[in-house]
Chain A
Amino acid sequence: MALVTGSPVGNLDLQEDRYLEGAPTLFVQRYEADPLKNPDSDGFYWGMSGTTTYPAYELGCVTDVTFAENVTMNDVLCDNVGVKSTIQQRNYLEFTLTVQSPFPLATTTNILKGGTVTTNGTEGTEKMPLGQINNQLYWMVYAVRVYDESTGDYVVIHLHKCQFVDAWSIATPFGDKWAFSNIKLRAFSDPTKPAAQSFGNIIRADLSVLGT
């Protein structure tokens, strides 16, 4: 955009006239499984490959999805000058969401931090125990949003080592669906991954823009 003040001279980068909308499709898989790209040709660890022991779970009918980070910040305050800098450390990244698909309980138990579900094929029942929280369970998170179906352009957020944290609540309104809200997937730094992507990575694929 032409500015009466004049644009910056020299090397200038502009952002693209493309926008993302809607929530990503969210998948989780036990941290013990390897990501599909482990790593890819550029050294990035991402993607999921479900196995019998460690299936990939899709979180059904999600809403109110936000992705945020938590940092510790401390100002460098010099009494004779004022704040000269701010020291920052990334603590974690976090998805917050609401899930509206309650079944199967074998998937929901992961979200609600329940125990191992027992399915009785003869009775036709699923039984989900709610006991103490297992703090040793970690998950990979794979969040995908295809922003151009015709060309297959997409954005992926991959987080290596996450836990379901915080207290959930289930709204049970009359005449409306149940909603499992305040579901938080908190991603920690994974020391087994390269330092530059220890929390995860964001990957964009768009051949028409980025291809050669």
Chain B
Amino acid sequence: MAKRSISEKYDTEDVEVKEHSVSERYLMLNLSTIYTVVGKVTGRKYVWQGAGSILPVDPQDAEHFLSLFVQRGCCGSARINKPVFVEV
């Protein structure tokens, strides 16, 4: 097995971190709750810790999360479709 230098190892890790952060999308929870969900595509588990909390999300999961709405409205108030997440 070829022996790698320390600098080569760090270079490789730097590139990996950069690619990961650029491709992720950041979603903010719009509901007053702790929200847990498993991404349908990646199987990754996400846990938002309350309204306004932001998590990086794999773009493959993000589209589905952004399509989630809850329908609210009662007693004469206009019904609203409230998005569960907002992209920031």
Bitwise interface map of A from 53 to 67 toward B, beta carbon under 8 Å scored 1, else 0:
111011011100000
> Beyond A52-B51, A52-B52, A52-B86, is A58–B34 a contact (Cβ under 8 Å)?
no
- Whether A106 lies near B31 (C-beta < 8 A) is yes
Stretch at the interface among A11-19, A111-119, A159-167: A111-119
Number of chain B residues whose Cβ lies closer than 8 Å to a Cβ of chain A: 23
At the interface, is chain A mostly helix, strand, loop or mixed? loop
A118 to B34 CA separation, bound complex (whole angstroms) = 4
- Whether A25 lies near B34 (C-beta < 8 A) is no
Closest-by-CB residue of A relative to B28 is A52
Give residues 29-56 of B contacting A (CB, 8 Å).
Answer: 29-38, 50-52
B15 within 8 A of A: no
- Whether B50 lies near A116 (C-beta < 8 A) is yes
Taking CB atoms, residues of chain B closer than 8 Å to A122 are: 36-38
A52 to B53 CA separation, bound complex (whole angstroms) = 9
A182 within 8 A of B: no
Taking CB atoms, residues of chain A closer than 8 Å to B50 are: 53, 116
> Beyond A53-B51, A53-B52, is A106–B32 a contact (Cβ under 8 Å)?
yes
Q: Which of B37, B51, B68, B74 contacts A55 (CB 8 A)?
A: B51
A104 within 8 A of B: yes
| Most chain B CB within a 10 A radius of its CB, from A53, A54, A55, A121 | A121
The 4 closest A-B pairs by CB, nearest first: A121-B37, A60-B74, A53-B52, A118-B34
